[in-house]
Amino acid sequence: MSSDGEEEFEFEFEDDDEGFDPEADSAGESISDAEAFDIMSPTLEEPPEKKPYDVNYRVRTMQEIMDMQTKEVKKVQSLLEVPADTAATLLRYYAWNSEKLQEQFWNDPTAALVSAGLSPPSSPSTSTQPLPSPLASPRPFECPICCMDYTKEQTATQTLALGCGHRFCRGCWTEYVVGKITTEGESGRIQCMESGCSRIVRAEPIDELVTSDVSKKYHNLLNQAFVSDAPSLRWCPHPGCEHIIECSQAPQKMLNQLVPTVTCRCGNDLCFGCGYPASHRPVICRIVKLWEKKCADDSETANWLQANTKECTKCQSTIEKNGGCNHMTCKKCKWEFCWVCMGPWSEHGTAWYQCNRFDEKSGSDNRDHQAKSRQSLERYLHYFNRWANHEHSAKLDADFYKSTQKKMEQMQSSANMSWIEVQFAKQAVDTVIAARITLKWSYCMAFYLKRNNMTELFEDNQRDLERAVETLGYSLEQNIGDVGAIAKLRQEVTNQSAYVQKRHDILMDDTLRGYLEHRWEFTV
């Protein structure tokens, strides 16, 4: 069987020499290098180099994010000469865009403060003051919400008014704030309960009003709002991971040219551009979104219906014809019509069992339409099945690692090889898995690519990688034989995985460079 693999290899090798890509030659070289393989320097462990389509990024912890906020608040605090919590509220209102905040603030400080839900510095309360001000001496008070009465003394301790002077009892405040935080997920924009009052409830009274776990949730929400407001930050989407990725090289407008795949400290990949919880290279975020939607919604069911069914012209019930003649009688509304021309059967006169209007325009239009629909369904299924196949393989990754692990142990014991000598197998599995993810997305890409020469080159690259991966996958599933066979297998796997790596790099490199060079045209 291994000779089959060799043949495949030769074919691939020649294919490269036909040469559409300058890097194809080096692929050839790497094979011959690998044949003169030296035990002590595995070729797979190349340091990752920075490509023009890669982005710089940093993985941040929650603490660092909080420090970033504090730093920003301090900066604004000293620039605008306002208290820290005022600076924080202002920054939240302006979505942490401190340039815009400064511009607006210097333009009209009062307006900036009022629109952010704060009173201007000179007058501690807003102009409308329907209720006793917080500074006025306490007197008996009835909470306008729950209608509880409070004595003079209780008013001081059990009721609360913000700078705007709207006084309510603490119980109502707590229920209101807890509801806002826990059920509505609000944080920085919780307003005074008085209707029409846009005074913001700041962190200090909230912490005082609610229990510590709600307060914790409140501060988490504030931090989340900070991360989602900042275009250069994104949460790691993987379950249980609390890291944040910081990347300033992939703004929204660059996402047509870049696929900013990053690796979080938790070891998982994600796309910084759209938050997809894995690499979706080489496809750009926009196309991934379209593909996901296409696969998820029932648009394809509709496609099938269109290809295989017709509708009763009277009651619009969907009908699948599974035999019989063209004289249809709708089960639902009893309407009689001709399946071929869709016209009423009564017009067919005496021409029973044969539609004499077959060639009329409406009939032929209908047939064209159905053929087209069937074709587009087949096209979609072609790409979807290949995509889904790789998706399915990825789900079996864990098993693949396990069985390889077993073989590695077997090799160590039967061929007396050292731990480091059998690592080639694990590296090969890593290579296969990474290549499969790329292949998977390459089918999504191909589905949306316009048919042209560029697309053909892309599909050639795709085919080469697909074949290389299959060959390597096959070799990895071989049973472990005697010492000689192991040496041969090892040589083979090492060669093949170097080749897969190369093909993978070529596909990725060419495709991602293609975006920068505006080579790809999509039909959407």
Partner 1 sequence: MFANNTRAQSSTAARRLMKEYRDLTADPLQDMITAGPISEDNMLEWEALVQGPEGTPYEGGIFAAKLRFPSDYPLNPFKMTFDPPLLHPNIYPNGDVCISILHAPGDDPMRYETASERWSPVQSVRSVLLSVLSLMHAPNSDSPADVECAKLYRDDKPEFERRVRAQVKSLLGI
Residue 111 interacts with partner 1 (CB under 8 A): yes or no:
no
Return the H-helix or E-strand segment holding 311: strand 310-311
Judge residue 282's burial from the number of C-beta atoms within 10 Å of its C-beta, 0-12 exposed, 13-18 middle, 19 or more buried: buried
Amino acid at 123: S
* Residue closer to partner 1, measured from CB, 225 or 338: 225
- For the chain, the distance separating the N- and C-terminal CA atoms, rounded to the nearest angstrom, is 44
* Number of residues that make up the chain: 524
* Residue closer to partner 1, measured from CB, 144 or 514: 144
Beta strands in 114-202 (DSSP E): 141-142, 149-150, 159-161, 167-169
Question: 181 with 174: CB under 8 angstroms?
Answer: no
* Residue closer to partner 1, measured from CB, 94 or 176: 176
Least distance in Å: CB of 190 to partner 1? Answer: 10
x-or-dash string of contact with partner 1, 268-307, rule CB under 8 A: ----------------------------------------
Tokens of 492: 């083979």
Least distance in Å: CB of 276 to partner 1? Answer: 24
Interactions with partner 1, residue window 23-62 (CB under 8 A):
none
Residue 229 interacts with partner 1 (CB under 8 A): yes or no:
no
Return the H-helix or E-strand segment holding 363: helix 361-395
Least distance in Å: CB of 338 to partner 1? Answer: 38
Residue 172 interacts with partner 1 (CB under 8 A): yes or no:
yes
Q: CB within 8 A of 206, min separation 6: which ones? A: 177, 181, 190, 215, 218
* Residue closer to partner 1, measured from CB, 36 or 147: 147
Residue 146 interacts with partner 1 (CB under 8 A): yes or no:
yes
* Residue closer to partner 1, measured from CB, 197 or 222: 197
Distance set, CA 173 to CA 133, 206, 316, 508 (Å): 17, 9, 56, 57
Question: 121 with 82: CB under 8 angstroms?
Answer: yes
Interactions with partner 1, residue window 173-202 (CB under 8 A):
175-176, 178-179, 182-184, 191, 193-198
Is 325 annotated as catalytic? yes
Least distance in Å: CB of 429 to partner 1? Answer: 46
How many residues at the interface with partner 1, by CB under 8 A? Answer: 21
Judged by CB under 8 A, the stretch of 141-149, 220-228, 444-452, 469-477 that binds partner 1 is 141-149
Identify the residue among 59, 114, 148, 295 touching partner 1 (CB under 8 A).
148
Radius of gyration of the CA atoms of the chain, in A:
34
Least distance in Å: CB of 179 to partner 1? Answer: 6
d(CA 384, CA 387): 5
Amino acid at 39: I
* Residue closer to partner 1, measured from CB, 207 or 459: 207
Q: How many helices (H) and strands (E) does the chain have?
A: 17, 13
d(CA 415, CA 480): 10
Least distance in Å: CB of 232 to partner 1? Answer: 25
* Residue closer to partner 1, measured from CB, 199 or 440: 199
Question: 339 with 328: CB under 8 angstroms?
Answer: yes
Is the link from the previous residue into 282 a cis peptide, with omega within 30 of 0? yes
* Residue closer to partner 1, measured from CB, 157 or 211: 211
d(CA 472, CA 4): 12
In 3-state terms, what secondary structure has residue 121?
A: coil
Least distance in Å: CB of 122 to partner 1? Answer: 24
- Roughly what angle, to the nearest 10 degrees, separates helices 62-80 and 212-229? 80
Least distance in Å: CB of 161 to partner 1? Answer: 13
In which region does residue 354 sit, left (phi positive, over 0), alpha (psi from -120 to 50) or beta (all else)? beta
* Residue closer to partner 1, measured from CB, 27 or 190: 190
* Residue closer to partner 1, measured from CB, 8 or 175: 175
Tokens of 291: 């593909």
The number of C-alpha atoms within 13 Å of 378 and in the hemisphere containing its C-beta is: 8
Least distance in Å: CB of 175 to partner 1? Answer: 6
Identify the residue among 145, 266, 381, 480 touching partner 1 (CB under 8 A).
145
- Candidates 1, 38, 15, 3; CA nearest to 502 is 15
Interactions with partner 1, residue window 359-388 (CB under 8 A):
none
3-state secondary structure 265-279: CCCCEEECCCCCCCC
Tokens of 59: 């993985």
Least distance in Å: CB of 96 to partner 1? Answer: 19
x-or-dash string of contact with partner 1, 388-427, rule CB under 8 A: ----------------------------------------
Q: Which of 315, 325, 333, 341 is catalytic?
A: 325
Active site residues: 325
Report the interface residues with partner 1, using CB under 8 A: 144-148, 166, 172, 175-176, 178-179, 182-184, 191, 193-198
